[in-house]
Amino acid sequence: MTAYPKFFIGPMSKNVVDSIIQFSEEENTAIGLIPSRRQVEYSGGYVNNWTTAEFIEYVKSKSSNIIVERDHSGALQGYEEDDGLESLRADTECGFDLIHIDPFKKHFHLENALIETIDNIKFCNSINPDCLYEVGTEEAIRKYSPLQLDLFLNYLQHDLGELFEKIKFAVIQSGTKLESGKNIANLDEERCRRMVDVCKKHGLLSKEHNGDYITELDIKTRFDIGLDAINIAPEFGGIETACVLDELNKSESEDLFNIFYKLCYDSNRWQKWFPKDFVPENNKEQLIRVCGHYVFATDEFSEIKKELLEIDHKICNQINKKLESLHSI
């Protein structure tokens, strides 16, 4: 079995991608990059405006240590209300190492999600037989029990036959939930253990999503229980945003701060991450900290950065510190 990395990280910006590539090369260690459909897509995404083909070519040309996985492929996972098949076609043709098949945003019922998971795997396999897969979803989209995960994998194994061997990861749920730039859930060790055992029973590796803003001890505890890998994404965008805000505060430029805030507010991306009673006008900096990464590729944000001396160097240093911390676990 291929030795997959423990950490799969969202490519929140070009700085994050470049830092991960450099770290993986310097440490000669494998790291996963997990672009969502909104971040990187066949028609372009909000991360550096990369298309699927451009992103994969960029990463693969710079490092052989990076595992590139599509995160949350499928219907309703992009900007449009689509069936996700055009995106999947590009993913398979362009050479993702792994594709996370996730129809749960469309289907709450396990039976319907099962059917679409099977259909999507067969669709991808017909285009590129070298594709490998991750199945299941995070509890923020559709919570399931260890028993339900077991049943889901049983049916997949039965209906896919030999194709089931191309599934490498299943998503477990042991207690992660992101809100307002924090992880507000608590680790359920018994639930984690039972779900990890379900994955082992089916010969799969276990992966948890939304591993942001939790302590190194919490991550280590999950690994000690048997978790094989964990996804971390918004936290890396937050690291970059925090660096920008620190420099803006030092410059005492209220105009630049307000431009940054308006970019974030107008993106409307903040609505996903805050409760309904959140008041943006009273929490401008908090809104920016959570949603800043969505506007990094805009021309307006590029103009802000021009006023901040050596900002990219400072950002990459902070990202590297986080990578070193994770690497030590």
| 205 falls within a domain | yes
Q: For position 3, what pLDDT does the model report? A: 83
Domain co-membership, 111 together with 175: yes
Select from 175, 207, 232 the last residue of a domain. 232
| 253 falls within a domain | yes
Q: For position 2, what pLDDT does the model report? A: 65
Judge whether 273 and 179 are in contact, CB under 8 Å.
yes
What gap in Å lies between CA 201 and CA 208, rounded to an integer?
17
pLDDT in tens, 258-312: 999 999 999 999 998 999 999 999 999 999 999 999 999 999 999 999 999 999 9
64 CB-near residues (< 8 Å, 6+ apart): none
Domain co-membership, 179 together with 294: no
Domain with 290 in it: 236-327
Is the pLDDT at 16 greater than 90, yes or no?
Answer: yes
Domain co-membership, 85 together with 212: yes
Is the pLDDT at 27 greater than 70, yes or no?
Answer: yes
Q: For position 252, what pLDDT does the model report? A: 83
Is the pLDDT at 138 greater than 70, yes or no?
Answer: yes
Select from 183, 217, 232 the last residue of a domain. 232
Domain co-membership, 125 together with 244: no
Domain co-membership, 192 together with 301: no
| 188 falls within a domain | yes
pLDDT in tens, 67-119: 999 999 999 999 989 999 999 999 999 999 999 999 999 999 999 999 999 99
| 119 falls within a domain | yes
The b-or-e profile of 86-100 (16+ CB within 10 A means b, else e) is ebbbbbbebebbbbb
| pTM confidence score | 0.96
What gap in Å lies between CA 94 and CA 234, rounded to an integer?
25
Band (pLDDT 50/70/90 cuts) for residue 156 is very high
Domain co-membership, 197 together with 306: no
Is the pLDDT at 327 greater than 80, yes or no?
Answer: yes
| 1 falls within a domain | no
Domain co-membership, 31 together with 146: yes
Give the residue-averaged pLDDT of 150-160.
98
What gap in Å lies between CA 105 and CA 304, rounded to an integer?
36
Q: For position 157, what pLDDT does the model report? A: 97
What gap in Å lies between CA 326 and CA 64, rounded to an integer?
20
Domain co-membership, 21 together with 153: yes
Select from 201, 232, 263 the last residue of a domain. 232
Domain co-membership, 113 together with 191: yes
The b-or-e profile of 232-241 (16+ CB within 10 A means b, else e) is bbbbbbbbbb
Domain co-membership, 189 together with 167: yes
Number of independent structural domains in the chain: 2
Residue 84 falls in which region: left (phi positive, over 0), alpha (psi -120 to 50) or beta: left
Domain co-membership, 167 together with 264: no
pLDDT in tens, 159-216: 999 999 999 999 999 999 998 889 999 999 999 999 999 999 999 999 999 999 999 9
| 104 falls within a domain | yes
